[in-house]
Amino acid sequence: MSAAALTCPRCQSTSFVKNGRTHNGRQNFRCKACGKQFVLNPTKKVIGQDTRELIDKLLLEKLLLAGIVRVTGVSEGWLQTYVNTKYDTIPKQVDVWPKKRGT
């Protein structure tokens, strides 16, 4: 993320100051020109490996997705996509008779 790309979403000013952090830990900024407070890239939150591992554990505990959202702070949309992707990629070998290879 280059500093030159940072602009106020309201007035496009590049003059702003750090303004503490939001409740979920993201850097908050305040525009010096128009006074708007904003968070950079609020929708592009990267979910770390630690969080993913925690989610995996919670899924094994059969916690409801809404509960996992509350515990980990990820968005419901992200979690739904993550779960869908996860169960799509898990090989469903449990109920399938193994195919013979070779010969």
31 touches Zn ion by CB under 5 A? yes
Q: Is 66 exposed, middle or buried (0-12, 13-18, 19+ CB in 10 A)?
A: exposed
- To which residue do tokens 């193994």 refer? 98
Angle, alpha carbons 84-85-86 (nearest 5°): 90
Give the strand pairing for 37-39 and 16-21: unpaired
Selected binder of Zn ion within 22, 26, 27, 34 (CB under 5 A): 34
Which residue, 10 or 57, is less far from Zn ion as judged by CB?
A: 10
Q: Out of 10, 21, 26, 86, name the contact with Zn ion by CB under 5 A.
A: 10
Q: Contacting Zn ion (CB under 5 A), which of 14, 26, 27, 33?
A: 33
Q: How far is the CB of 62 from Zn ion (least distance, A)?
A: 46
Interface positions with Zn ion (CB under 5 A): 8, 10-11, 13, 31, 33-34, 36
